[in-house]
Amino acid sequence: MKTSNTKNVIVILLVAIVSSLVTLAGYNIMIRNNGNRFAVGTSDKATSEEIGAIADSFDQDQNILLTNLTTSDGYPDFTEAASRSVDGVVHVKTKSISQQQYMNPFDFFFGFGDRGPAQPREQVGFGSGVIISKDGYIITNNHVVENATEVLVSLNDNREFTAKVVGTDKMSDIALLKIDGTEFPYLTFGNSDALQVGEWVLAVGNPFNLTSTVTAGIVSAKNRGNVMGGGLGIQSFIQIDAAVNPGNSGGALVNTRGELVGINTAIYSQTGNFAGYAFAVPISIAGKIAADLKEYGAVQRAYLGIQVPNIENIRREDPEKARELSQIKGVMVEDFGERSSAKAAGIQKGDILTAINNVPIRNFAELQSQLNRFRPGDKISVTVDRNGNNRNFNVELKNDAGNTEITRSTDPVSALGATFKPVPEETKRKLGISSGIEIASVDNNGLFKKEGINKGFIIMRMNNTPVNSESDVNRIIAATKTREDKVLLVAGFYPNGRTQYIAIDLSEKG
């Protein structure tokens, strides 16, 4: 009896061992196959071509594919992806000037309460950025560089550069910077559309000023909308659970091949620090915005010209109707805007948009994600469900003005209508000033002429920031135009004249 029991135990153990070996072997094969699948990086052809066109805008070389994404034990291996990413992610330091109103305590005590002149105070901010070309173009967040009078960039090898803000886009929270030099390490673009929920990703940045920090997590969701209460114009984020904290903004989200698939932008937190949810702008959108900023100085946005139901407003008045609308797989056309390209193509009220260029559309975030890839004048195929029947329409997209013209941003200084020349150091000494730039000429149609600033006027400060060159003027004006008030305060004088303070509203031009 004991011998029989012993044999049974041995048989059971052998079966268990064999089963375990088969399971481990299958797991390793699956992991390796997944690794190879990600190395191939397949997705729909159209998206790959779009990413390729964006990469060409920044003269990116063909990415080298990683073929082994696992350790010998079968665990995910992020070392190659991390090593390829950290050199392409930079630390961004910004300086800006804030105005603090000064109140005389004696005036307050005796009941006058008059505030003194605004006192400038320098503020310093930090964030991250991603080098996307060997000649020094860098993507970051708009909120990292907004209002900055100076932007400094530090590379992983400790080299430091002063960066020029090429352009910013508040709606997407994306900005493009440029540093001078060649052969910078950079991250190549991956295909953010090919990401799958559950796929491993890395967040690379500088949280809390801790440079070259890499954290790992998975893609928690795609095309996530209503981030930050819907405060951003883009509502099609990649949601991840990799740890992202203050300072990570503008940093890289990379896949396990070390390819750039997103720009880390926001966290969901009640404390301001990471609480398990972070959001990145897909590179399919961020890359296109960066390419627009480089080529045109402004983002080219394409519109279908449709209005869709606001389910949240409907839910307050008619919960049953809201529930029915939320069950629709697609986007219902409730009405049209003026000069609508969708209406011109034959789309009607009540149609349900189900695909753009054969890419399925299940909600408004996915519709926006697709439209953000195009420019005015591009032609797309729109599939709609009309009374249960699918119909296709060829639509030529338009801009918000109802035409297909490209919007170009002018040189910030051009709105002033002036040219400048430096003030020699000897002249500064005689005038008793430490900073200054002279107006060499003015345009009769410029803002300077309108405000009475003419040739020979010496500008010492703009928005309480010293100016000594035209590049200083450019930088300050660019920062001012991103502010809500867009007011430029010029402090200067004519030789032998008194100091003048002149406010110029930059929203009038440019």
Name the residue among 353, 35, 325 with its Cα closest to residue 200: 35
Q: Which of 103-107, 370-374, 453-457 has the lowest mean pLDDT?
A: 103-107
The answer to whether 89-101+116-178 and 306-396 have equal CATH topology is no
| Mean pLDDT value of segment 117-146 | 88
Q: What is the pLDDT of residues 253-285, one digit of tens each?
A: 999 999 999 999 988 777 878 878 899 999 999
Q: What is the pLDDT of residue 408?
A: 74
CATH number of 89-101+116-178: 2.40.10.10
Q: What is the pLDDT of residue 297?
A: 86
The CATH-assigned architecture of domain 306-396 is Roll (2.30)
Q: What is the pLDDT of residue 7?
A: 52
> Quick one: 233 exposed, middle or buried, by C-beta within 10 A (0-12, 13-18, 19+)?
middle
Q: What is the pLDDT of residue 506?
A: 81
Residue 249 designated active-site = yes
Q: What is the pLDDT of residue 239?
A: 96
Residue 50, pLDDT above cutoff 60: yes
Letter string b/e over residues 329-338, b meaning 16 or more CB atoms within 10 A of that residue's CB: ebbbbeebbe
Q: What is the pLDDT of residue 93?
A: 96
Q: What is the pLDDT of residue 1?
A: 47
At 25, the pLDDT band (50, 70, 90 cuts) reads very low
At 482, the pLDDT band (50, 70, 90 cuts) reads low
At 49, the pLDDT band (50, 70, 90 cuts) reads confident
Q: How far apart are CA 2 and CA 88, in angstroms?
A: 67
| Mean pLDDT value of segment 95-116 | 52
Residue 91 designated active-site = no
Residue 10, pLDDT above cutoff 70: no
Q: What is the pLDDT of residue 410?
A: 61
| Mean pLDDT value of segment 83-108 | 74
| Mean pLDDT value of segment 469-491 | 81
| Mean pLDDT value of segment 200-224 | 93
Q: For all residues of the chain together, what is the average pLDDT?
A: 83
Beta-bridge partner residues of 138: 131, 177
Residue 28, pLDDT above cutoff 50: no
Q: Which of 111-120, 137-146, 162-171 has the lowest mean pLDDT?
A: 111-120
Residue 96 designated active-site = no
Residue 164, token pair as written in the block: 């020029």
Q: What is the pTM of this model?
A: 0.74
Amino acid at 225: G
| Mean pLDDT value of segment 225-233 | 66
Q: Which of 14-18, 301-305, 358-362, 405-409 has the lowest mean pLDDT?
A: 14-18
Q: What is the pLDDT of residue 155?
A: 97
For the chain, the farthest-separated pair of C-alpha atoms sits apart, in whole angstroms, at 118
Q: What is the pLDDT of residue 94?
A: 93
| Mean pLDDT value of segment 489-508 | 89
Q: What is the pLDDT of residue 67?
A: 46
Q: Which of 21-25, 89-93, 399-403 has the lowest mean pLDDT?
A: 21-25
Residue 74, pLDDT above cutoff 80: no
Among residues 172, 220, 249, 284, the one annotated as catalytic is 249
Among residues 173, 292, 385, 472, the one annotated as catalytic is 173
Q: How far apart are CA 291 and CA 284, in angstroms?
A: 11
Looking at the chain, the whole-number percentage of residues with pLDDT higher than 90 is 51
Which residue has better confidence, 173 or 21? 173
Q: What is the pLDDT of residue 69?
A: 61
| Mean pLDDT value of segment 185-203 | 95
For the chain, first and last CA: distance in Å?
Answer: 96
Instruction: Please tell me the number of Cα atoms within 13 Å of 353 on its side-chain side.
Output: 36
Hey, where are the domains in the chain?
89-101+116-178, 306-396, 412-508
Among residues 96, 143, 220, 351, the one annotated as catalytic is 143
DSSP codes, 72-108: TTS-B--HHHHHHHHTTEEEEEEEEEEEEEEE-HHHH
Q: Which of 124-128, 309-313, 380-384, 437-441 has the lowest mean pLDDT?
A: 309-313
CATH topology of domain 412-508: Pdz3 Domain (2.30.42)
Which residue has better confidence, 280 or 315? 280
Mutual angle of helices 283-296 and 45-57, in 10-degree steps = 40
| Mean pLDDT value of segment 505-509 | 69
At 473, the pLDDT band (50, 70, 90 cuts) reads confident
